[in-house]
Amino acid sequence: MTHSIETSNLSVTLNGVQLVQPTSISVNAGEAVGIIGLNGAGKSTLMKAIIGLIPHQGFSNISSQSFEDRARLCAWVPQTREIVWDVTVETLLGFTLQNFRDQNDSNRSSSKKIRFSIQDALLATNTSKLTNRNIRSLSGGELTSVLIARALVQQTPSIFLDEPLASLDPIQKISVLSLIQQLSKTGITVIASLHDIEIAQSYFSRFLGIKAGKVVADGSPKRLLSKKHFKKIFLC
């Protein structure tokens, strides 16, 4: 299953302050879209509104669905510093699979089927060696890859990642970016907030530039990193 993403006049206001201005975007199935901008520009807030994690105004074709349908349509990969689970990698993925497996299947998954799907996700993210490790013992790059594996076992057609390159060394960044690119090539829609735009530009098909809660530029990474658009996004 593939899934495009649509918003119309989507906005977020908190305590009288508009954090995201009315935003209308369309993302095709299988696109890899990076959201770029300064700290506090509204990158993460926009993604959370799209998938219904926070209250908002306007329309999103994901947040407008029931909770169960949202869980089937998208997976959320938070920033690694938000993770405090005291469990092994396999336990985390098994729990996730039990909760997010296709709810149209009325039969409970056997442990054999669960293990097979977990192994698929671990292989896809090159994290098989981490199966028995505790989540708290993982490095930043390892944890990011495991969180992407967790998203894969949900078997959703779209994945949203909040700063997946934060605190990673250059080799870890390339590994995560290559995985994101691979997911996109299989038809999964990927949207990620980014700071490391120079290294990320070769792995994304499209960038959205956001400034003070407003999408001010939309196009190929090459176009948005041109002098004209870069200034529009990052300079006052």
pLDDT tens figures, 96-138: 887 766 554 544 444 555 555 888 889 888 899 999 999 999 9
pLDDT score, position 71: 87
Of 2-6, 19-23, 62-66, the one with minimum mean pLDDT is 2-6
Cα distances (Å, whole numbers) of residue 53 to 47, 76, 97, 110, 161: 9, 9, 20, 31, 13
pLDDT score, position 106: 46
11 Cβ contact list (under 8 Å, min separation 6): 18, 20, 21, 22, 23, 49, 56, 57, 58
Q: Is residue 110 part of a domain?
A: no
Total of domains in the chain: 1
pLDDT score, position 194: 96
Could you tell me the CATH number of the domain that includes residue 25? Answer: 3.40.50.300
Q: Determine the residue type at 97.
A: L
pLDDT score, position 33: 98
**Domain range for residue 202?**
5-86+157-234
- Which of the two residues, 114 and 50, has the higher pLDDT score? 50
Q: Is residue 115 part of a domain?
A: no
pLDDT score, position 104: 46
Task: Extract the tokens encoding 118.
Answer: 């977990």
pLDDT score, position 117: 82
Q: Is residue 111 part of a domain?
A: no
Q: Is residue 30 part of a domain?
A: yes
Indicate whether this model's pTM tops 0.75: yes
Q: Is residue 97 part of a domain?
A: no
Spatial distance between the Cα atoms of 49 and 145, rounded to a whole number of angstroms: 24
State percent of the chain over pLDDT 90: 68
Q: Is residue 54 part of a domain?
A: yes
pLDDT tens figures, 56-94: 999 999 999 998 899 889 999 998 766 778 899 999 998
Q: Is residue 66 part of a domain?
A: yes
Residue with tokens 């994304």: 204
Longest Cα–Cα distance of the chain, Å, equals 56
